[in-house]
A and B are shown apart, each in its own frame.
Chain A
Amino acid sequence: MMTTLRWKLLIGCCATVVGVLLILIRDWLPQSQKIPLLSILLIMGGLSYVVFVLMKSWYDKKSDVSEVIEDERILKIKAYTFMKAFLFSFTIVCILGILNFSRLWVMDARSAIMIVIFTMGGSSLLLSWYYNRQGDINGK
């Protein structure tokens, strides 16, 4: 069985390799002038992720805090935070769909997706702050 750390490193390395491969085969792909930008994003993202994972693992090993940080309570708070954020975002996507479908609020695709991304991020941040302030998830 692969450990979580190895999985994370594998994901980062795969993103980097895909980025490099895209640059190498860009002449055979459609929209070839935009491939380098996508490749750079993938390579930067993959390498940053690998460095972040390695630094976090090194920090956890050095300070031996991983057991203290990732306890049952915090994992439960995380799960409930993202669950509520998911339900809220799903409702917002449905409302946006109804508004757009009935021509009450006409918007372009990029605006709609940006609204959904900010809703997802914002709701999870707010809920995370709220539940961490509350201390625990009780009776929900």
Chain B
Amino acid sequence: MTFEQIVFYSLAVVTIFSSIMVVVQRNPVNSALYLILDFFCLGGLYLTLNAQFIAIVHILVYAGAIMVLFVFVIMLLNLGDTHKLADRLNMKKIIGIAFGLAFFVELLYLLGFGTTRSISQQSPAAPEIGTIEYIGKVLFTKFLFPFEVTSFLLLAAIIGAVILAKKKIIH
């Protein structure tokens, strides 16, 4: 086993473990903390794929900003008795499990029996494509126009959020 493989497998195991823990934990705060661990491991996996920029942004945005928001909401909501969160087996759950199993089988088929050619191929420009320098270069040349459109998208979204937040509904 090469060094890369060792890193990959250890990260993968922790990722899967923490993902499962997110779902099975009774206490929502614990779930949220496991989700943070999950995000960090995913960030590590991005690093092994030469996607440094995505790795950093992933940790900054997801583990940093969004998770703090999650934890705040959970604490503010004050869910009280955590045992009530566990619901009984109903139709929704059965359908969910069926879909999950179907995707799992699909994944196994893809890894085991299907042609692995399509997923093992790596882009030839892989080493430098994930750096901030490269992303900055294409962002201001090839993707300049979509980048500018995004800025207007965000402007409109900010103003929309302000309008909605100011809103008072009279019944």
**Are A and B associated in one complex?**
no
Binding site for B on A (CB under 8 A): none
Binding site for A on B (CB under 8 A): none
